[in-house]
Homo-oligomer: A and B are copies of this chain.
Amino acid sequence: FYKFVMIINDFSFKCHNSLKETSLSSRSMASKTPVGFIGLGNMGTPMAKNLLRNGYPVIATDVFPESCKELQDTGAQVVDSPAEVAEKADRIITMLPSSPNVIEVYTGPNGILKKVKKGTLLIDSSTIDPAVSKEMAVAAEKMGAVFMDAPVSGGVGAASLAKLTFMVGGVEEEYHAAQELLTCMGANVVYCGQVGTGQAAKICNNMLLAIGMIGTAETMNLGIRLGLDPKLLAKILNMSSGRCWSSDTYNPVPGVMEGVPSANNYQGGFGTTLMAKDLGLAQNTATNTKTPVPLGSLAHQIYRVMCSRGYANKDFSSVFQFLREEEGQ
């Protein structure tokens, strides 16, 4: 989701010419040894290409042969299974759609952990339930490997341009080794704490984002019905305590801002389906930790209903359109 821009101090030293490499652990010292990459979807493919571009040999696999083919043509070595990747690489990145895929790829019959070498660094950039990240970390540790979660902010564009933001959870001593690879694929890398906190940070941000967006849509709609000019209302909110990212950077009302999805019929941006997925993760996580999240929960329900009413592929700011449609239209 390309609008999730973090201005955190820029860690993006160029991997291939950094003098600091020599100070890294033995694993990362050998920085041009192969890196495994599992999950070659819309996000994974450009990420893996950026590793290649930075001079890393890539050993890759995916369940879809055509995805493998594309990366093979760019110079990667393609193998048959996660287990085989684990035999050939001691640093592996996974980028998968959801928790069950992660469980399968790590602990399945042909999974990474069947063949993983001691000391291997496993970085999962999927967005999944933090509880699953923790389970994977425990399973990896039993085999002598290290697991970190590193979900991304930023969409396909950011992935291609190596402008992703990574939020990383895991043992602190291994963070630098992870950072070396992640900075080849992203502009910002933030260390969040123990395993699972990378997922937690992403889920939390997106939940608050959804709440702010729906709140902004409701507020703008109410103000307009009460006779306020939308631009003036946005200006007042943005100078006041109602201000939020959705009101001042990504306003959902057509005509208020340029260069945002609301100015382009809610095309592009961050799809309602994806937001609903992340809110589902937030909901599951909150349920499992017995944390009350009344607005987060209602936001989830609203995006869920929108998915079934024709908004699945529109940007999530289209909630303004969903709420405002006039009676009788």
Contact = CB atoms under 8 A, between A and B. Distances in A.
Interface in A270-329: 273, 276, 280, 282-302, 304-305, 307-309, 312, 322-329
B229 A193 contact: yes
Q: Which of A5, A201, A328 has the most CB of B within 10 A?
A: A201
B325 A309 contact: yes
A247 B208 contact: yes
A227 interface: yes
Given A193-B229, A226-B285, A293-B301, 12 more contacts: A1-B241, A4-B240, A6-B239, A204-B220, A204-B233, A215-B215, A219-B296, A222-B291, A290-B327, A294-B301, A295-B298, A295-B299
Given A200-B227, A241-B250, A284-B284, A218 B130 contact: no
A228 B7 contact: no
Contacts of A165: 240
A247 B223 CA distance: 23
A208 B219 contact: yes
Contact of A244 (B245, B282, B290, B309): B245
Interface string A205-216: 111110110111
Contact of A325 (B201, B218, B250, B308): B308
Contacts of A14: none
A243 B241 contact: no
A205 B325 contact: no
Interface residues of A, number: 96
20 contacts: A4-B240, A7-B239, A200-B223, A203-B226, A205-B219, A208-B215, A211-B214, A212-B242, A218-B293, A218-B295, A240-B245, A244-B245, A283-B287, A287-B300, A291-B304, A292-B301, A294-B301, A307-B327, A308-B323, A308-B329
A205 B237 contact: yes
Given A308-B325, A308-B326, A242 B297 contact: no
Nearest to A236: B201
